Amino acid sequence: MGPDRGESTVQSSLLVHPIGVVALFTVCVWTIWASYLLLAVFSGFVSIVALCSALWGHFALRGVGYDCTVPEGGVFPGQSVPITRTIYNGKLLPLLWLELLEPCDPDGPVTPKAEFIVPNPDAIEENLADAWRCLYSFSLLKWHQTLTFSDAWTATRRGIHRIRKVTVRSGDGFGLCATSTALAPSAMRQIAVYPKLVDVSIDAVLADIWDSRSRSLGYLEDTTLLKSVRDYTARDSARRINQRLLARGGGLKVNQYEIVTPDDVLFVLDAASFREKDSEAFETVLSILASLITGLSRRGIRVGLIAPRSAYFTETYIKPSNEEIGLCRMLELLAAVSADNAPLKIDIMLEHLAPEQLGQTYYIAYSESAATSLQLLGHIPPHKAQLLAFEAGEASADSQLLRVRAITRFGGRTS
């Protein structure tokens, strides 16, 4: 292990301070010169103890490594997250005691057990998130010994928890000199707490997909799947001519492709539309959205998501799929999103969209008037686009073809 090590901080009593050590040796020499034998022996013993304590405390954390691991993927509120930590003493000098202090926020996405939470005396008064730490204490770590232990933290609310640096403290066995240093794991560890799942009905989404099929003649040709060839007729497009057969002298033949149905569903999250709105409304909408994405994916429907930039991720387009990795990625983006995010950059997203392959596109916003990137739907056929709003009213004159519905009609009761 080669951890990112911060500057060490030494906390010592006056007895092992350099001035104190010099003073003790001075007293020892003076008592010897003055023939105070018992006092000389006592002051010499105290001087040796102070010097050993100072050296032990100074070198205690040399060669100490730290790392931690967390499970892959995220969790939902109420679930526990096992965090495994490893501490290695890579020198001959044993550690008689050791403390590991990890930053924690009792109101954060994940929290440790209450008995491990202690106040941080070094916290800045304005920084409430740094006011508490999680303390783990151990009595002995021998030379070249590795200590591994696990602790289960509880997911309490939606968000992202990152483990960056922890503080390790140790020192001499008399408690006269202690050294602390900041250590970082070998890689940044992250725990994503997904939005809470609620009871929703996906029947309305399935009905919208069938409706879009009927309005687009109910089918779509996949030009990557060649079904057969037939003779060319005057009504056929030249682009469908099989050039390979023509070059071989096979005459004019046109390709016939496999017929597929547009089952792709795309959700577009306009988090910026919830700025300065009720935070509970935002959390409710995210829970419904996460539940719809999960339910549709479990039914085999290909689901995609456009999520805005957050403090943890860039603006992201997840291509519609029904794979587990895509579902986890979308839930992770929803865990990180905030109402303070910047509006979506439409130009970046448009290059990824294929409107003809979409079964339905749902634009999620607080309301039609609060939407910040509604022009994105101008590139989607009207019968394939809807606005799902927390506050849904009548469509405005500028968007008479846009269907506006209340997202809460899909459900919202806690599961």
pLDDT exceeds cutoff 80 at 278: yes
Confidence at 262, pLDDT banded by 50, 70, 90 = low
- Burial of 224 per CB tally in 10 Å (0-12, 13-18, 19+): exposed
Query: How confident is the model over 157-186, as a mean pLDDT?
Result: 87
In DSSP terms, which residues pair with 238 in a beta bridge?
A: none
Query: How confident is the model over 337-342, as a mean pLDDT?
Result: 89
- The per-residue pLDDT of the chain, averaged, comes to 81
- What pLDDT does 215 receive? 47
pLDDT exceeds cutoff 80 at 193: yes
State pTM to two decimals. Answer: 0.77
- What pLDDT does 120 receive? 81
Architecture of domain 198-214+262-414: 3-Layer(aba) Sandwich (3.40)
The answer to whether 112 and 232 have CB atoms below 8 angstroms apart is: no
- The CATH 3.40.50 portion of the chain extends over 198-214+262-414
Q: Which of 78-82, 180-184, 285-289 has the lowest mean pLDDT?
A: 180-184
Residue type, 282: F
What are the pLDDT digits (tens) for 87-103?
A: 999 998 889 899 999 98
Please state which CATH class domain 1-193 belongs to. mainly beta
Q: Report the C-alpha gap between 180 and 242 in whole angstroms.
A: 74
The answer to whether 108 and 156 have CB atoms below 8 angstroms apart is: yes
- The CATH 2.60.40.10 portion of the chain extends over 1-193
Which of helix, strand or coil describes residue 43? helix
Shortest CA distance to 69 belongs to which of 167, 137, 149?
149
CA 262 to chain centre: 32
- What pLDDT does 245 receive? 79
Residue carrying the six token digits 């009207």 = 382
Q: Report the C-alpha gap between 382 and 372 in whole angstroms.
A: 19
pLDDT exceeds cutoff 80 at 3: no
Of residues 177 and 321, more confidence is placed in 321
Of residues 193 and 392, more confidence is placed in 193
Q: What share of the chain is helix, strand, coil (3-state, %, to 5)?
A: 30, 35, 35
Q: Are strands 145-155 and 177-184 parallel, antiparallel or unpaired?
A: unpaired
